[in-house]
Structure 1
Amino acid sequence: MSSSKEADLTTAVLMYAMRCLAEGDQQALRAMNFGPKELDALTEMNLGDLYRADALRVHCLHIGLNREVFWPMLEHLRHQRASEELQRSLLVADAPLEMMQQLFGVSSREYTRWRRLLTLAPSVGRPPELSEADTHALWYAWQAQLQQQDGGSLTATDFLSLHHETGIGLRSLWALVQRWDSYGVGSPGEQAARNGR
């Protein structure tokens, strides 16, 4: 038996009301205009009644849009979607676990799940050392990003931009930028001298 859109709406709201009743959420039930009689009727309903409601072509609901809630909710969903797309792009560019943890709070389990979902090869071992030319290219691109940030921390978008600009994988890029950050600002030549190269 196929259900109508009215039946789907009624069933969804009745199930929500029954859950509110089971959890003692009186405020939500009052907001939906459920009074004592309706609550008594809800307690008598069972799964069979909800199944039978699928045959209905009408609903008993008064639906209204709360714009004060709708637009912030939509903005939150857009922000979440953009964040997930950015995380996927970073992972495809070989972002290491430490980077994803620091920028997004991603757990190791979530990181592994995302990499499997995106069918990415497991990242094992240390990232490869960069050539001198790549190191210099990254240095100057990183300094330009820092100047744009006015001394603030780089964002996930900034790291992705560095990757696209230099063509360096994020594992290597992240490791080197973290090393530079921990040593303090200095040119690649100074870093090499400090490391005894």
Structure 2
Amino acid sequence: MPPHDSLLAYHVMLYAIQALSEGDLKAIKDLDFTVDEIRQLSQLPVKAIKHLARMSSHFLEIKTDHSCFSKIMVHLRHELANDALQDELLRLEAPITMMNTLFGMSTTEYIQRQKLLGIPGCGAGRPPLPSDEEQVAIWESWVKTEGLPLPERYQHVGQETGQPLRALWSLIQSWESARDNNRIRPRCSRV
């Protein structure tokens, strides 16, 4: 067996021994040890465990679960795309309330991500309201993106209109709230 295989097997065995010492039987079972083998391991003195770990490449087989790996890679690509979208929204000056609502981002994470991206803080207070012409362009862009997930809609509208998301967020929220209120408002009938 190549030396790197024995080294890997040795470290897997050390992991199993540490899990055993911490009472993490699930981790050991996940390595496919039987209950009897776990019992035998638990009765070995420390000196014997070191020797066993060195010989583990003879009985320990390390495999890749290809189906699981494929699923994890799909999940990883989704997470990376999500991170890239969040970074782009932050570059477009998304406010903390927006990032918290859309992604559950905490204030601490928000500030750290801004620092990592080299984005200066915008300060407190409300941003100026876009002009009437800008609001028309914003609304047209917003309506055009209907059907997209919310984060992507905001990204698209921010990029298309050139308006900072901190200005768009409250404006669009007020429009959507008014639209929702009009939908659920009961019609009065005359008696």
TM-score, normalised by the number of residues in structure 2: 0.75
The DSSP-based 3-state class of the residue aligned with 2:174 is helix
Is 1:126 matched with 2:126?
Answer: yes
Partners of 2:47 and 2:167 lie apart in 1 by 60
**In the alignment, residue 44 of structure 1 is paired with which amino acid?**
V
Is 2:145–2:153's contact at 8 Å kept on the other side of the alignment?
yes
Does the residue aligned with 1:63 lie in a helix, a strand or coil?
coil
Q: Distance in 1 between matches of 2:16 and 2:47?
A: 11
Q: CA RMSD in A?
A: 2.8
TM-superposition CA deviations, 1:45-100 (whole Å, max 9, x none): 69xx59xx8xx7x9343012223322222222221111111111111111110110
Q: CA deviation at 1:7?
A: 5.6
Aligned match of 2:186:
none
Correspondence list, 1:32-181, <5 A: 32-34=31-33, 35=37, 36-41=39-44, 44=46, 59-60=57-58, 61-124=60-123, 125-146=125-146, 148=147, 154-181=149-176
Shift in CA distance, 119/64, structure 1 to aligned 2, threshold 3 Å: same
Q: Secondary structure at the match of 2:100?
A: helix
What amino acid sits opposite 2:134 in the alignment? Answer: D
> Is 86-95 or 28-37 further displaced after alignment?
28-37
Task: Specify the SS of the correspondent of 1:139.
Answer: helix
Deviation per CA, 1:147-172: give whole Å up to 9, x if none.
Answer: x45xxxx5211111111111111111
Relative to structure 1, is the Cα distance of residues 30 and 84 closer, same or farther in structure 2, using a 3 angstrom cutoff? same
Paired with 1:12 and 1:83, the residues of 2 have a C-alpha distance of 34
Secondary structure of 2:108's counterpart equals helix
Shift of 1:112: 0.9
Listed one character per residue, the Cα deviations across residues 160-187 of structure 1 (whole Å, up to 9, x for unaligned) are: 11111111111111121011112227xx
Aligned residues, how many? 170
1:115 shift after superposition: 0.9
SS in structure 2 opposite 1:85?
A: helix
Deviating runs (4+, > 6 A) in structure 1? none
Cα distance in 2, alignment partners of residues 89 and 15 from structure 1: 43
Superimposed CA distance per residue, residues 119-174 of structure 1 (whole angstroms, 9 cap, x where no aligned partner): 2111212112212221110011111222x45xxxx521111111111111111111
Q: Which runs of 5+ in 1 are unaligned?
A: 186-197
1:105 partner letter: G
Give the match's secondary structure for 2:82: helix
One-letter code aligned to 1:40: Q
**Identical aligned residues as a percent:** 32
In structure 2, the CA distance between the partners of 1:18 and 1:142, relative to structure 1 (3 Å rule), is same
